[in-house]
A and B are shown apart, each in its own frame.
Chain A
Amino acid sequence: DQQVKQNSPSLSVQEGRISILNCDYTNSMFDYFLWYKKYPAEGPTFLISISSIKDKNEDGRFTVFLNKSAKHLSLHIVPSQPGDSAVYFCAASSNSNSGYALNFGKGTSLLVTP
């Protein structure tokens, strides 16, 4: 059963515009959320995270928003750059399961066009 869902398998955005990647989760025990970026033939790279006690976390061009009541989070990239083209994975964890193991979505492939 997929507890973390990324319903958009792909997204195309023009350079300089905002990219918004969405993620939904079903397990209310999740209390920490992460975004990873993955290039082909490489492992996922940690991008940004947010604790369930917050509703926003910002790091440079990347901002993650958390809506706990809707069990929804999103990653905003502003402005988008061609180098941002990659697959983005949303992940969630709970301190009560598997010692901080991560539950991943299927990923959204972002293409930023010049």
Chain B
Amino acid sequence: SAVISQKPSRDICQRGTSLTIQCQVDSQVTMMFWYRQQPGQSLTLIATANQGSEATYESGFVIDKFPISRPNLTFSTLTVSNMSPEDSSIYLCSVGGLGRIYNEQFFGPGTRLTVL
């Protein structure tokens, strides 16, 4: 596995503002993903963060709202732009392709975002 940290761990923001969430891994990883968990819901994939190229977004998520950077194999950021109360969620990064099973993913501790 890997040690994954996220910053900030939580934040309370005003609507219309933006927040950038950082994900740092202690080793180089092939795959990094960003998920969202809205209250009472399952984890939903936002996008796959691709190193050196644009992220691959899932249906319902767009780059203008959730710009993602991945400058190297250990770091990625997710920005939640022009926030509204509906963006209040836990945002999680995960990494994959580490162990003998390529599908297994390991998650960071999450960032709890509240938008007022």
Contact = CB atoms under 8 A, between A and B. Distances in A.
Contacts of A98: 45, 48, 56, 58
Interface string A77-114: 00000000000010101010011111111110000000
Nearest to A43: B107
Contacts of B31: 99-100
B42 to A, nearest CB: 4
Query: What is the size category of the interface that chain A forms with chain B?
Result: 20 to 34
A93 B103 CA distance: 7
A41 B45 CA distance: 19
A44 interface: yes
A43 B56 contact: no
Contacts of A89: 42-43
Contacts of A65: none
B106 A46 contact: yes
Nearest to A34: B104
Contacts, number: 68
A36 B40 CA distance: 16
A89 B90 CA distance: 15
A42 B103 contact: no
Interface in B30-75: 31, 33, 40-45, 48, 56, 58
Contact of A42 (B41, B102, B109): B109
A73 interface: no
B92 A102 contact: no
A38 B33 CA distance: 18
10 contacts: A32-B101, A43-B94, A43-B108, A43-B109, A95-B103, A99-B56, A100-B31, A100-B97, A103-B45, A104-B43
